[in-house]
Amino acid sequence: MARLALESMPGPVVITDLAGRIVYLNRAGEAAMGVRREEVLHRPLVEAFYKGEKFDAKGRYRSPVLETLETGKEFPGGILEIRAFPHALPKLYLVHTFFVREESGEVAGVCGIYNDLMQSRELTRKAVLNRLVTISQQFETIYAFAEAIGARDPYTMGHCEKVAEYARLIAEAMGLGEKEISLAYICGIVHDVGKIGVPESILNKPGSLTKEEFAYITLHPEKGASILSHISWLEDVVPVVLAHHERYDGGGYPMGLKGEEIPLLSRILAVADAFDAMTSDRSYRKALPLPVAVQELKRHAGKQFDPQVVEAFLEIIGHLV
């Protein structure tokens, strides 16, 4: 039964012995890595999955399981970018690693559990809906808003869900309460609702915008806040959406708020929003590699972004930094 549970996990699970040899790989692991388990069982993980190359070009461990095995550091849930095949698109996983112990307490190996962030977003969405069951119908209205934008701009739809998930993780990492954590997620979903008022030709324009076009875009926080202000149970969301393009140094819009004048959830959204924008392919440019996006966040900490929010996000990104 326990084995069946591992087999049925939606994300990859891999277990190695103390010599780093694979002793277990579940079905999702086979699919993610593009291997059959008979081919990799009892082989060293570094050879089976990483062609014997333990470290990447910057000297970081390619495998969190191996890092745990060799350094003793367990990962309690960091975001990792993993490329299953050399030409595959990298996927973001929430990774947990820990030592597997005998009943006597003796360490027998290391287990790594990977949750596809796309899938966990789906779970989060359901969890948030369940928690808000009494107002779930209203919440569905919000998804309808997000989808209405998505129908005009498919990028924005997926973007909102990722921003929501990052914002939720940051709020959690900063030790905020349950209500604020849910609120962070909801704000992520609806933050760009005001783009509904931006003409499609501007929204999907490849290349740079004219001054007038940019002016149109900058109206979307106010438009969004105004739309959402009609929904009474979303009153806490309105100021957050209104301020999601404010900058920590005061150079943002629409009000030019500075530092702690900007609501904390807006400061969280700003980091989540920028990170997803940098790591997504757009019509006018390719996605930046994760480490470059992380460098950009660090570079703008204290200027565009609240340094404490950046710090919390870097904690989630974990050892990739």
- Least distance between Fe ion and beta carbon 160 (Å): 10
Q: State both tokens at 38.
A: 């008979």
Instruction: Report d(CA 143, CA 190) in Å as an integer.
Output: 8
CB nearer to Fe ion: pick between 28 and 293: 293
CB nearer to Fe ion: pick between 180 and 192: 192
Instruction: Report d(CA 44, CA 41) in Å as an integer.
Output: 8
Instruction: Report d(CA 139, CA 132) in Å as an integer.
Output: 8
CB nearer to Fe ion: pick between 40 and 265: 265
For the beta carbon of residue 277, count every other beta carbon within 10 angstroms: 16
CB nearer to Fe ion: pick between 64 and 221: 221
Q: How far is CA 134 from the centre of its chain?
A: 27
Helix (H) or strand (E) holding 147: helix 136-152
Q: How many residues bind Fe ion (CB under 5 A)?
A: 1
For residue 100, what are the CA distances in angstroms to 7, 9, 10, 80, 143? 17, 18, 20, 21, 41
Contact 200, 217 (CB under 8 A): no
For residue 285, what are the CA distances in angstroms to 83, 157, 279? 21, 18, 10
254 prior amide bond cis, ω within 30: yes
- Least distance between Fe ion and beta carbon 296 (Å): 17
- Least distance between Fe ion and beta carbon 87 (Å): 33
Helices 264-278 & 178-190 angle (0-180, nearest 10): 50
Instruction: Report d(CA 293, CA 219) in Å as an integer.
Output: 26
Instruction: Report d(CA 112, CA 74) in Å as an integer.
Output: 10
From 191-199, 203-211, 252-260, 300-308, span contacting Fe ion (CB under 5 A):
191-199
From residue 133 to residue 172, the character string flagging contacts with Fe ion as x (rule: CB under 5 A) and all else as - is: ----------------------------------------
From 132-140, 188-196, 275-283, 299-307, span contacting Fe ion (CB under 5 A):
188-196
Could you list the beta-strand ranges (E) of 102-218.
Answer: 107-116
CB nearer to Fe ion: pick between 54 and 244: 244
From 104-112, 113-121, 160-168, 187-195, span contacting Fe ion (CB under 5 A):
187-195
Q: State yes or no: residue 246 binds Fe ion (CB under 5 A).
A: no
CB nearer to Fe ion: pick between 192 and 306: 192
- Least distance between Fe ion and beta carbon 227 (Å): 13
- Least distance between Fe ion and beta carbon 55 (Å): 38
- Least distance between Fe ion and beta carbon 304 (Å): 13
- Least distance between Fe ion and beta carbon 134 (Å): 29
Which of 192, 246, 276, 306 is in the footprint of Fe ion by CB under 5 A?
A: 192
- Least distance between Fe ion and beta carbon 192 (Å): 5
Q: If DSSP codes are grouped into helix, strand and coil, which group holds residue 264?
A: helix
Q: Which residue is at the shortest CB distance from Fe ion?
A: 192
From 41-49, 186-194, 205-213, 262-270, span contacting Fe ion (CB under 5 A):
186-194
CB nearer to Fe ion: pick between 10 and 197: 197
Return left, alpha or beta for 250; rule: phi > 0 is left, psi -120 to 50 is alpha, else beta. left
List of residues contacting Fe ion (CB under 5 A): 192
